[in-house]
Amino acid sequence: METNQASTHAFDTAIALSPIDNNTWTGRTTPAYANMVGPFGGIIGATLLNAVISHPARLGDPTSFTVHYAAPISDGEFTVHARPLRTNRSTQHWFVELMQDGQVAAFATAVTAIRRDTWETTDAQFPEVPPADQVAQSPAIPQAAWTARYDMRFIDGGLGTGEPVDHPSQTRLWIRDEPPRPLDFLSLAAMCDAFFPRIFIRRQKWTAAGTVALTTYFHADAAQLHEQGSAPLLGVARGLHYGKGFFDQSAEVWSAAGKLLAASHQVVYFKE
Amino acid sequence: METNQASTHAFDTAIALSPIDNNTWTGRTTPAYANMVGPFGGIIGATLLNAVISHPARLGDPTSFTVHYAAPISDGEFTVHARPLRTNRSTQHWFVELMQDGQVAAFATAVTAIRRDTWETTDAQFPEVPPADQVAQSPAIPQAAWTARYDMRFIDGGLGTGEPVDHPSQTRLWIRDEPPRPLDFLSLAAMCDAFFPRIFIRRQKWTAAGTVALTTYFHADAAQLHEQGSAPLLGVARGLHYGKGFFDQSAEVWSAAGKLLAASHQVVYFKE
C-alpha cells in the first residue's frame, strides 16, 4: 500500500475506515464518489475489501472478491464488520458486512491467498487498441460525481462517444484514477465496477439500473500491481444476456503491456 | 420442482436436507457423487442452494449464486445454515454455511428475485455445434464417480477426446443428468460446475486442482427451466488466465434452442 503518497487522494478518503475493534470499523460516504443515487458501487466494494486488507489476521493477497449490493446506501456513516470464516495454510475465506441503520446494506465474501510462482499463461485475448495518449479523454457526467474521479478514454462503447465495434454491448476504454494514484487491490476493485451499465450502451438510452452482485478475480499479486504505478489500464466489458429484469456483464482489466490484472462478472438489475 | 418424479434420482438423494429448524438442516455426502477426493463440488453447491430454495422465507427464484469451497469436505454428515441477510420488495440476499466438525467447510451467498418480463436480448454467441445425438457419449472416469452421473458428449476440449478448436482451453459439450432428470435450479447449478478443470485441458495433463470460489448467474426463471425437461444442455467453458497458483474459468450453459440459461465464472487453485 502506498500509504504516504495515497493518504491525501480522494479515493483513500472515500474508502477510509476507523477501527472500533479487530473486526469492526466505521466509514462514511463522500460526495467525491457520489453516484446519481447514493455512492458509486465501486467505492463501496473497495471499502469492504479495505476491511479485509486492514484486518490483523489477514493471510496473503485478495484473489477472489464478491460484493452484494443488498439495499440502497444512504449518505452518511456506516459500520463494517469483517471476519475470516476459514483459514487454511495458504488461503483464507472472508465474510464482510456493511451495516446502516441496524440493517445489512451491502456484504462481501473474499478469498485471500499467498501467491507463489507456478506455470503461467493467458488465454484471454489482449485487444489491439490505440494507446491511451491517442484516445480523447471523455468528459465527466455531471449527475454522477464519481465519473470525475477517473480519467476515462473510450475506444468504443461509450455513452454517445462511439458505437461498439466488435460486439453490440462491448466497451473498451483506458482508465486511471484522476488525479493519478498508484494502483493497488482497492483501486483495481473499484475500477472493475467502473463500467457504465451495459444496457445503456446496448440500447443507447438510459434506464434505471444497478449492480446487484459483482465478483472480481485478481490475477496479479501486490508486487505486480505496484509495478503499474498510476499508468492507465485497459478495461473491456460486454453484456451476455438481458431479460426478466436482470443482465450480466463480464469484464477484464489489463495493463498496457498486456498483463491480465483482473477479470470480473456482475449481475445488474434493470427496470424495463 | 419435480418432487414426485425426481425424488428417487441419485441427484435428489445427494442434495437432500433434513430440517432441524427454519434456518438449519443436516445433509450427508453420497458415494454416487464422489470426486477423487471428497464430494463433487457441484453437488455441494446444489446442496447449499437447496437450503435457500427450501427456506420458508424465500422470495423468488435464484438469480445469483456464489459458493466458496473453504476446506476439504469429509465423507459423512454436515449441517447447513441459511438465512436471508436482506429482503427487499422483489429481491432477497442470502448467506449459507456448511459446517463440519464445528468449522465452516463451505459457504455461499445468493440473490433470489421475483423475475418479470422486460426487454430481452442475448449478446453472447450461441455456438454452432452438431446436435447431441450426433456426438459420442464420453465414458465416465472411474476415479471420479460423479462423472457417471452425467451424460457428457464433448464436441471439443475433452480429456483426450478432442483438442480445443477455437481457443486453447475451451470445452464445448452436451450434458444432462444420467439417468435423465427434469432440469431445475439445483441441477443447473451443479452442471455449471461440471466442467473439468481448464488446466487439464490446456496442458493435456493432470495436476492437483480444485475450485475455490464459483459464481453462477441464472438467466432463466423456473418456468423456462421446467420447459427444458431432461434435454441435453450445451456447456461452453474456457480459461482466461493461469498463474501464481490460480486460474479462472468462465462458462455458459445453453438450451439446445439457443437460450442462455446460466453464465458462471470460477477461480481454481492449481498446484504447479
C-beta atoms of A241 and B124 within 8 A: yes
| Rg of chain A in Å (alpha carbons) | 18
HEC sequence for A197-240: CHHHHHHCCCCCEEEEEEEEEECCCHHHHHHHCCCCEEEEEEEE
C-beta atoms of B242 and A122 within 8 A: yes
Percent of chain B at pLDDT exceeding 70: 95
Q: Say if residues A251 and A194 touch (Cβ distance below 8 Å).
A: no
Tally of CB atoms within 10 A around A271: 11
Residues pairing with A138 in the sheet: none
Nearest CA in chain A to B126: A240
H or E, element range at A245: none
- DSSP state for residue B209 in the 8-state scheme: E
User: What does the longest C-alpha to C-alpha distance in chain B come to?
Assistant: 50
Q: Rounded CA gap, A172 and A155, in Å?
A: 5
H or E, element range at B260: strand B260-270
Look up cell 446494506; give the residue. Answer: A105
Q: What is the pLDDT of residues B213-251, one digit of tens each?
A: 999 999 999 999 999 999 999 999 999 999 999 999 999
Q: How many angstroms away from the CA of A200 is the closest CA of chain B?
A: 13
Q: Rounded CA gap, A236 and A174, in Å?
A: 9
Chain B environment of A64 (Cβ under 8 Å)? 68, 212-213, 267
pLDDT band at A41 (very low <50, low <70, confident <90, very high): very high
Instruction: Output the pLDDT for position A2.
Output: 44
Chain A environment of B263 (Cβ under 8 Å)? 240-241, 248, 250, 265
Task: Please classify residue B253 by burial: count the beta carbons closer than 10 Å to its beta carbon, then call 0-12 exposed, 13-18 middle and 19+ buried.
Answer: buried
- The closest of B186, B108, B191, B184 to B146, measured between CA atoms, is B191
Q: Say if residues B161 and B154 touch (Cβ distance below 8 Å).
A: yes
Q: What is the pLDDT of residues A145-166, one digit of tens each?
A: 999 999 999 999 988 755 666 6
pLDDT band at B2 (very low <50, low <70, confident <90, very high): very low
Q: Say if residues B23 and B81 touch (Cβ distance below 8 Å).
A: yes
Q: What is the pLDDT of residues A205-264, one digit of tens each?
A: 888 999 999 999 999 999 999 999 999 999 999 999 999 999 999 999 999 999 999 999
Q: What is the pLDDT of residues B116-175, one digit of tens each?
A: 999 999 999 999 999 999 999 999 999 999 999 999 999 999 887 556 666 788 999 999
Instruction: Output the pLDDT for position B1.
Output: 44
- DSSP state for residue B34 in the 8-state scheme: B
Q: How many angstroms away from the CA of B48 is the closest CA of chain A?
A: 16
C-beta atoms of B215 and A213 within 8 A: yes
Chain A environment of B267 (Cβ under 8 Å)? 63-64, 111, 217
**Which of A118, A203, A263 faces B272 most closely, judged by CB atoms?**
A118
pLDDT band at B7 (very low <50, low <70, confident <90, very high): low
Instruction: Output the pLDDT for position A162.
Output: 59
Look up cell 446506501; give the residue. Answer: A73
Chain A environment of B248 (Cβ under 8 Å)? 217, 219, 263
Residue spans of beta strands (DSSP E) within A42-178: 61-69, 77-87, 91-100, 103-113, 121-122, 150-156, 171-177
- Kindly give, in sequence order, each residue whose CB lies less than 8 Å from that of residue B166, ignoring residues fewer than 6 positions away: none
Dihedral sign of CA atoms A213, A239, A207, A153 in order:
positive
Q: Rounded CA gap, A165 and B88, in Å?
A: 38
**Chain centroid offset of residue A33 CA:** 13
Q: Cα-Cα-Cα-Cα dihedral of A186, B87, B212, A234, to 10°?
A: -40
**Which of B66, B95, B242 faces A120 most closely, judged by CB atoms?**
B242
C-beta atoms of A70 and B85 within 8 A: yes
Q: Rounded CA gap, A182 and A184, in Å?
A: 7
Q: Which of B68, B87, B103, B201 is the best mutation test for A, with the most CBs of A within 10 A?
A: B68
Instruction: Output the pLDDT for position A143.
Output: 92
Instruction: Output the pLDDT for position B239.
Output: 97
Instruction: Output the pLDDT for position A206.
Output: 83
Please give the average per-residue pLDDT across A63-83, as a whole number. Answer: 98
Q: Rounded CA gap, A224 and B122, in Å?
A: 36
Q: How many angstroms away from the CA of B258 is the closest CA of chain A?
A: 12
Q: What is the pLDDT of residues A74-126, one digit of tens each?
A: 999 999 999 999 999 999 999 999 999 999 999 999 999 999 999 999 999 99
Q: Rounded CA gap, A56 and A92, in Å?
A: 13
- The closest of A36, A40, A74, A70 to A206, measured between CA atoms, is A36
- Quote the ipTM score: 0.95
Q: What is the pLDDT of residues A174-207, one digit of tens each?
A: 999 999 999 999 999 999 999 999 999 998 888 8
Q: Rounded CA gap, B20 and B271, in Å?
A: 39
Q: How many angstroms away from the CA of A72 is the closest CA of chain B?
A: 10
Chain B environment of A202 (Cβ under 8 Å)? 121, 123
SS3 content of chain B, % helix, strand, coil (to 5): 20, 40, 40
**Which of B86, B123, B265 faces A71 most closely, judged by CB atoms?**
B86
Instruction: Output the pLDDT for position B60.
Output: 97
Chain A environment of B116 (Cβ under 8 Å)? 244-245
- Strands B24-28 vs B77-87: parallel, antiparallel or unpaired: antiparallel
Look up cell 465416465; give the residue. Answer: B140
CA-CA distances (angstroms) from residue A194 to A138, A139, A259, B219?
14, 15, 19, 23
Please, what's the b/e burial string for B36-65 (b: 16 or more CB within 10 A of its CB; e: otherwise)?
eebbbbbbbbbbbbbbbbbbeebebbbbbb
Q: Say if residues A215 and A265 touch (Cβ distance below 8 Å).
A: yes
Instruction: Output the pLDDT for position A1.
Output: 44
Q: How many angstroms away from the CA of B149 is the closest CA of chain A?
A: 29
